[in-house]
């Protein structure tokens, strides 16, 4: 119920609630944006835009329609996709490789920067290839169930049940 209270305060333009929301969602949102754009600077700009939208449009969030997390996720994915489709971005990154969140995790655990490399590795170890694809499309790229089924040539129902197994595995490692 705490979460509901926080969102209500955000909708009333409470700056402290906004800061709290930022702390809760900014890293995850930055990760989503980065997985699409693969550019740290550009991702920061988009992150800023996304949180400005969260602030300005908070009143349009309706809990009857879905989760706040999902609402933020949609804003972030849409803003990132708009950006990578824009002309100036395309010109800048003609030789961009089409990699997904798994490649980012792998390259990070190789270089082992500030973040816990062992922590990253465990995601990679538990997720089988189909899980990686499902999570990449459904979560990071924002495909619908139907689009995912078509992309992976998988029956619609299988997408749902297979993904459930994948997320179960993910949960068993993060908790």
Residue ranges of alpha helices (H) inside 61-136 are 68-85, 87-92, 101-111, 117-126, 129-135
Quick one: 79 or 143, whose CB is closer to another protein?
A: 143
Quick one: 110 or 144, whose CB is closer to another protein?
A: 144
Query: Alpha-carbon distance 175 to 171, whole Å?
Result: 6
Least distance from another protein to the Cβ atom of residue 85, Å: 19
Query: Alpha-carbon distance 32 to 25, whole Å?
Result: 11
Quick one: 41 or 85, whose CB is closer to another protein?
A: 41
Residues that bind another protein (CB under 8 A): 13, 15, 18-19, 22, 25-32, 34-35, 40, 43-44, 47-48, 51-52, 55-56, 63-67, 69-70, 73-74, 101, 104-105, 108, 113-115, 119-120, 123, 135, 138-140, 142-145, 148, 160-164, 167, 170-171, 174-175
Do residues 168 and 127 make contact, with C-beta atoms less than 8 angstroms apart?
A: no
Query: Alpha-carbon distance 69 to 130, whole Å?
Result: 24
């Amino acid at each position: 119920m705490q979460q509901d209270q926080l969102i209500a305060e955000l909708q009333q333009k409470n700056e402290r609630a906004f800061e709290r929301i930022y702390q809760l969602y900014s890293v995850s949102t930055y990760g989503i944006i980065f997985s699409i754009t693969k550019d740290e600077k550009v991702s920061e700009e988009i992150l800023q835009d996304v949180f400005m939208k969260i602030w300005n449009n908070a009143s349009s969030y309706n809990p009857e329609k879905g989760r706040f997390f999902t609402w933020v996720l949609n804003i972030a994915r849409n803003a990132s996709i708009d950006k990578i489709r824009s002309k100036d971005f395309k010109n800048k990154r003609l030789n961009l490789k089409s990699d997904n969140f798994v490649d980012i995790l792998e390259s990070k655990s190789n270089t082992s920067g500030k973040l816990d490399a062992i922590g990253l590795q465990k995601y990679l170890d538990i997720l089988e290839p189909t899980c990686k694809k499902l999570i990449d499309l459904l979560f990071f790229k924002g495909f619908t169930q139907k689009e995912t089924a078509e992309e992976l040539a998988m029956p619609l129902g299988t997408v749902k049940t297979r993904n459930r197994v994948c997320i179960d595995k993910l949960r068993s490692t993060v908790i």
